[in-house]
Amino acid sequence: MQYPPDVRIIQVPCTGKVDIIHLLQAFEAGADGVFVAGCLEGDCHFMEGNLFAKKRVRRVKEILDKVGLTGGRIEMFNLSAGMGGRFAEIVKEMDERVRALGPSPIRASKGAAPRPTREVTA
Amino acid sequence: MIRAVPKPLEEIIQYVNDYDKLLIAGCDGCVTVCEAGGLKEVKILGSALRLHFAQANKPVVIDETSLTRQCDKEYLAQLRDSIDNYDAVVSLACGCGIQFLADMYDTKLVFPGVNTSFMGVTEERGVYSERCQGCGTCILAETGGVCPIARCSKRMLNGPCGGSDKGKCEVSPEMPCGWQLIYERLKTLGQLDRFEKPVDPKDWTSSRDGGIRKIVREDLRI
């Protein structure tokens, strides 16, 4: 099984743990693209985690479109732990898609978007 | 509780596009419960705005905070030492909180980050519906606990009207007829005789017809 090397895997217990802010922060940190690989629909060990993730990915797509980054830079895929071949295909597909979109304008402009300069405590 | 929905991102971008130092201020009260203006939404908006400005190659300071409530001075006062660091504040509180923030810091630009919608309940997560219009004179005791002011499209006191069809309101086939609900509830309670006595005209001066409302409770004042 081979797939393009420029993908960084972040493991989570379930895609239901992936929140909107995590996905946005990946783009703030300069990611060119992000995909969420959840279990097959109906097969979530935690019942609905992958369905929650699907909705969150959809929301992030909308946000990316509105801030000028293109919603195509993020996608949700569903596959089981036994589908290694499909995983490789997905990485290749996302790699091609993101290359077609070009480097993230965030990374291209300054490495990464600035984080809050300080916490305002309430 | 007060229900609100996030404003479209493009509208907020339009408000803040010309400024360099922004504070996004959430509220931990009602708007947190309906997931429109709590700390989580503050962080999402902050991140989205940072992405917007970064890809436009404009350095903008965007800080994030959330106050326990923006409708109480004690909590708004917590911004006193830091608010001058910002050109503008995007408040994700309800309309009350946004105005109180603008009242307290009257030289500061304050922009709304949510559209405040109504006083309502959570039917299920993400589904909220109106239950009270704050008319100032509650008549729920007469109507089986179902409010005709909030739940009848015409705010009729002696309904239903001719637009009620199979339990639905003529405004929309999905909208329950408030008076049908009142009828069913009174029937369940065995109080259908209440339909035999018409309700007197309502005094609307306690509602918006009496102008801007204010409560003064001398027993509570310090």
Domain limits of chain A?
13-75
Give pLDDT, residue A122. 46
**Which residues from chain B sit within 8 angstroms of residue A21, using beta carbons?**
40, 43-44, 47
Give the residue-averaged pLDDT of B160-167: 96
Among the listed ranges A114-118, B19-23, B173-177, B211-215, which one has the minimum average pLDDT value? A114-118
Contact A63 B40 (CB under 8 A): no
Give me the amino acid identity at B50.
R
> Does the structure show a pLDDT above 90 at B103?
yes
**Which residues from chain B sit within 8 angstroms of residue A66, using beta carbons?**
8-10, 13, 48, 52
Q: What sign does the dihedral B73-B78-B84-B90 (CA atoms) show?
A: negative
CA angle B101-B104-B106, nearest 5°? 95
ipTM value = 0.88
B221: phi then psi, degrees, rounded to nearest 5: -65, 145
Give the residue-averaged pLDDT of A91-105: 95
pLDDT band of A111, cuts 50, 70, 90: low
Give the residue-averaged pLDDT of A74-88: 95
* Residue B97 and residue B69 in contact, taking contact as beta carbons nearer than 8 Å: yes
Contact B51 A113 (CB under 8 A): yes
- State the smallest CA–CA distance between residue B49 and chain A in angstroms: 7
Give the residue-averaged pLDDT of B68-90: 97
Among the listed ranges A116-120, B122-126, B184-188, which one has the minimum average pLDDT value? A116-120
What are the beta bridge partners of residue B112? B91
Q: What percent of chain B has pLDDT over 70?
A: 100
pTM for the structure as a whole? 0.92
- State the smallest CA–CA distance between residue B76 and chain A in angstroms: 9
DSSP H or E run through A95: helix A84-101
Of A19, A109, A117, the CB nearest to B54: A109
Cis peptide leading into residue A114 (ω within 30°): no
Give pLDDT, residue B208. 87
A71: phi then psi, degrees, rounded to nearest 5: -60, -20
**Which residues from chain B sit within 8 angstroms of residue A121, using beta carbons?**
65
Question: How big is chain B by its Cα radius of gyration, in Å?
Answer: 22
Of A28, A62, A110, the CB nearest to B47: A28
What are the beta bridge partners of residue B122? B128
Give pLDDT, residue A107. 82
**Which residues from chain A sit within 8 angstroms of residue B78, using beta carbons?**
122
Give pLDDT, residue B196. 86
What are the beta bridge partners of residue B121? B129
- Give the other-Cβ count within 10 Å of B123's Cβ: 9
Contact B55 A67 (CB under 8 A): yes
- Give the other-Cβ count within 10 Å of B197's Cβ: 9
- State the smallest CA–CA distance between residue B40 and chain A in angstroms: 8
Give the residue-averaged pLDDT of A113-120: 56
Query: Chain B residues with CB-CB distance to A under 8 A?
Result: 8-10, 13, 23, 40, 43-44, 46-57, 59, 61-68, 75, 78-79, 82
Question: How big is chain A by its Cα radius of gyration, in Å?
Answer: 15
Nearest to B33 by CA among B81, B87, B90, B92: B92
Give pLDDT, residue A113. 62
Give pLDDT, residue A1. 78
Nearest to B98 by CA among B209, B13, B40, B12: B12
pLDDT band of B198, cuts 50, 70, 90: confident
DSSP H or E run through A87: helix A84-101
Asked if the C-beta of A58 comes within 8 angstroms of chain B's C-beta atoms, the answer is no
Domains and CATH numbers, chain B: 2-118 (3.40.50.2300), 137-205 (no CATH)
Give pLDDT, residue A10. 94
Give pLDDT, residue B155. 96
Q: What is the side-by-side order of every strand in the sheet holding B127-132?
A: B2-6, B114-124, B127-132
Task: Give the chain A residue nearest B52 (alpha carbons).
Answer: A67
pLDDT band of A31, cuts 50, 70, 90: very high
Of B47, B63, B67, the CB nearest to A24: B47
Give the tokens for residue B218: 């001398």
pLDDT in tens, A36-48: 999 999 999 999 9
**Which residues from chain A sit within 8 angstroms of residue B56, using beta carbons?**
68
Give pLDDT, residue A115. 59
Task: Name the CA dihedral angle for B111, B113, B114, B116, rounded to a multiple of 10 degrees.
Answer: -20
Give the residue-averaged pLDDT of A88-105: 95
